[in-house]
């Protein structure tokens, strides 16, 4: 079983907050700090996975509720900024 399967978003976030506090408090050996940093990175990835999954579920639910809005983002893409006119005054 992976951490993602065994930890809820809230559990991972809470543990991550604890890892950050321990790192900020200092007084750890380099090896302890590196171990905590690595654990923090894994916890942050777990939180990101949970949030990505939640976002996908919301998108699916919204598309099912409003099928006409399910098309990819139809908003116009921003136009690139025009290059400055070298002959224009400052």
Asked if the structure places residue 90 within a domain, the reply is no
CB 62 within 8 A of CB 69: yes
Specify the pLDDT at position 90: 43
Residue for token pair 């949970």:
50
Q: Tell me the pTM.
A: 0.67
47 domain residue, yes or no: yes
CATH number at residue 11: 1.10.287
pLDDT at 66: 82
Distance CA 37, CA 23 (A): 8
Domain extent at residue 49: 3-70
Q: Which mean pLDDT values do the consecutive 10-residue runs of the chain (90 residues) have?
A: 80 98 97 98 97 96 81 56 54
């Amino acid at each position: 079983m992976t951490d993602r399967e065994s930890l809820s978003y809230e559990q991972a976030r809470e543990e991550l907050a604890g890892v950050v506090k321990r790192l900020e408090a200092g007084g750890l050996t380099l090896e302890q700090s590196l171990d905590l940093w690595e654990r923090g990175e894994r916890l942050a990835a777990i939180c990101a996975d949970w949030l990505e999954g939640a976002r996908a579920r919301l998108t699916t639910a919204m598309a099912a509720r409003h099928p006409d809005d399910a098309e990819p983002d139809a908003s116009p893409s921003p136009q690139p900024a025009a290059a400055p006119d070298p002959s224009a005054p400052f």
